[in-house]
Amino acid sequence: MAFRKRTPKSLTPDEALVRMENFCAYRERCPQEVRRKMTELGIAGETAEQIWQVLESDGYVNEERFARAFAGGKFRVNQWGRVRIRLELLHRAIPPEIVEQALGVIDEDEYLTVLQQLLQNRQIRYDGDPHARAKSAAALVRAGFEPELVFRHL
């Protein structure tokens, strides 16, 4: 069974605004993601700019709020380090000063506790392996923790 790609029907500006409000209300979205969705829906030009202004003024889109939520969530849920979170936010075209503010949300004591727990888990996983130290360090650096911090706690 072949699937056909649906061609987007043209939306009225009011319908497009409602669709975008629902899209933004579902979860925090970065501006890049919102603009991409407008393009997918066939919203362009002056209409897109007007919708963008409404979304921003009504608080549906806020870079600072998105960055704080993203940084906090990725650290607490996915246990990412600051380096990886910073790169992901910059990849999403969030300005560097907002990225640094968002990283400030992460509590230093909690950060070190998570790092130590991850190190213990890795050391248990690689128990008996002659390369356990290197593998543990590499895994945590890939997770986005600062290399100097990883080696200090190893």
Amino acid, single-letter form, for residue 149: L
pLDDT at 11 (0 to 100) = 84
SS3 105: coil
Total count of residues recorded for the chain: 154
pTM summary value: 0.86
d(CA 71, CA 84): 10
Residue 5: pLDDT band (50, 70, 90) is: low
- In the predicted model, is pLDDT for residue 154 greater than 90? no
95-142 tens-digit pLDDT: 999 999 999 999 999 999 999 999 999 989 988 889 989 999 999 999
Distance CA 120, CA 115 (A): 9
* Alpha helix (H) residue ranges in the chain: 13-26, 31-40, 45-57, 63-76, 82-91, 96-103, 108-125, 132-142, 147-153
CA 56 to centroid of chain Cα atoms: 19
pLDDT in tens, 13-59: 999 999 999 999 999 999 999 999 999 999 999 999 999 999 999 99
